[in-house]
Amino acid sequence: MSVATQSIHGALAPIQLRREDAKRLLTPALAIYPQIVDSNIVATLRLLGDQPTRWRLHVKTAKLDAVMRRFVNHGIRQFKCATTLELLTVCQAGAEDVLVAYPSVGPRVKRIQEIAAQFPKVRISVLVENKKQIDAWNKDKVGIFIDVNPGMDRTGISELLTSDIVALAHEIKGGERRFAGLHYYDGHYRELGPERRKLAAYAGYNRLLAIIQALQEMNIEVPEVVTSGTPTFHFALAFPGFKRTEFRHTVSPGTLVYNDLTSLSHLDPGWGYAPGALVITTVVSHPTLGVITCDAGYKSVSADSGFPNCSVWGHAELEPLRPSEEHMSIRVPEGKVVPNIGEILYLVPKHICPTVNNFDHALLLENGKVVDVVPVSARGREAPFLSASGTV
């Protein structure tokens, strides 16, 4: 059994559905446990020294307006997002400050400007990596972060090109735009073990400090430095260079509000994190000796992070096999109890973010009772074609 799988079976247990609710349930279904989500938020705030202003929470995982409002109620008001639908949803949920952490070009620029106009009290920022992207934004209306590439090679200017980063910051300020700071997402370290991940992250943070120093030497103030998703945020919090006071350092983990097999493998079990989102599935077949099949294939539980793509909560002995679109086959070792056809099982995904995006609705469960069925508000994307006026 993997470390991640071991961790979920020792974690705070999601309470199973009451029998009367289970009888009415169409599966597969996404279940969110608000009490566990709150516990995960509190665990993160504790690591942040109870300073919610240090958390620029990425809402790509949460997706639900109902959950985003819980963040705001916990005092978290600054966020990251990737899609315009996420931006719209988090603004509606009460955000005060949102960074669109995805390159914006073409009609996407117009749509972000429209949302910014719709929510004038929300401080909205975007990423840039070249002058053309700067020119697309209205003066003083939207803040601009420079996207620094830490070696992930996905977006941004290489961290090794300090002079180019300084020149771009000059372009932002010279064009009377609001320079909001630097964005540095080191998600490519997630595959490393804890010690190697820490060393790699610290080496990157030292390079980032050198960039900040170069900007300061050119009299360019760096208001905010955004780093770190779930795999490295705790290293960033401990990094001495980020305790300086001439800039605000924030971290941007989002997966840990729900958690999955991967995130739990990155988090110390003593911190109190637990799976707050599961996929509920029903056993529909006994196709052969020692194998059962459930109704949650990879169109329900994302398989983008490889196989097995989940674990069965409360049943560490069950071994999920490679799923197909609507079928999840699970091996039952010899001598173990075979779940009956019609029995409900609870799956902890390996990657919860795209799994949440697979569902139109989510159950909110408290003490085993379905207290609400809510839309996955930021699932998918907005309509793809803008009208002549720019609206969707």
From residue 40, give the alpha-carbon distance in Å to each of 14, 71, 355.
13, 11, 19
Q: Which of 217, 252, 287 is the last residue of a domain?
A: 252
Is 62 found in the same domain as 174? yes
* 211 three-state secondary structure: helix
Is 190 found in the same domain as 303? no
C-alpha 94/C-alpha 111 separation (Å) is 19
Is 221 found in the same domain as 102? yes
Is 245 found in the same domain as 181? yes
Is 144 found in the same domain as 78? yes
Is 307 found in the same domain as 237? no
Arithmetic mean of pLDDT, 232-245? 95
Q: Is the pLDDT of residue 7 over 80?
A: no
Return the CATH number at 161.
3.20.20.10
Give pLDDT, residue 10: 44
**Residue range(s) defining the domain that contains residue 330:** 3-31+270-375
Number of domain units in the chain: 2
Give pLDDT, residue 387: 80
Q: Is residue 36 part of a domain?
A: no
Q: Is residue 165 part of a domain?
A: yes
Q: Is residue 37 part of a domain?
A: no
Q: Is the pLDDT of residue 32 over 70?
A: yes
Instruction: Tell me the whole-structure pTM to 2 decimals.
Output: 0.95
Look up residue 275 and give its DSSP letter. Answer: -
Is 274 found in the same domain as 184? no
Is 244 found in the same domain as 121? yes
Asked if 232 contacts 201 with a C-beta cutoff of 8 angstroms, the reply is yes
Q: Is the pLDDT of residue 118 over 90?
A: yes
Q: What percent of the chain has pLDDT over 70?
A: 96
Is 276 found in the same domain as 206? no
Return the CATH number at 11.
2.40.37.20
Q: Which of 252, 282, 316 is the last residue of a domain?
A: 252
Q: Is residue 51 part of a domain?
A: no
Over the chain, what is the mean pLDDT? 94
Is 165 found in the same domain as 89? yes
Q: How confident is the model at residue 392 (pLDDT cuts 50, 70, 90)?
A: confident
Q: Is residue 24 part of a domain?
A: yes
**191-211 pLDDT tens trace:** 999 999 999 999 999 999 999
Is 200 found in the same domain as 294? no
Q: Is residue 392 part of a domain?
A: no
Is 186 found in the same domain as 60? yes
Q: Is residue 302 part of a domain?
A: yes
Give pLDDT, residue 12: 52
Burial class (CB in 10 A: 0-12, 13-18, 19+), 270: exposed
Instruction: Tell me the sheet residues that pair with 312.
Output: 347
Arithmetic mean of pLDDT, 72-86? 98
Q: Is the pLDDT of residue 138 over 90?
A: no
DSSP notation for 101-151: -S---THHHHHHHHHHHH-TTSEEEEEESSHHHHHTS-TTTSEEEEEEE-S
Contacts 24+ apart (CB under 8 A), 172-178: 172/128, 172/134, 172/144, 172/146, 173/220, 175/134, 175/135, 175/139, 176/139, 176/140, 177/134, 177/137, 177/139, 177/140, 177/142, 177/143, 177/144, 178/125, 178/140, 178/142, 178/143, 178/144
Q: Is residue 43 part of a domain?
A: no
Q: Is the pLDDT of residue 70 over 90?
A: yes
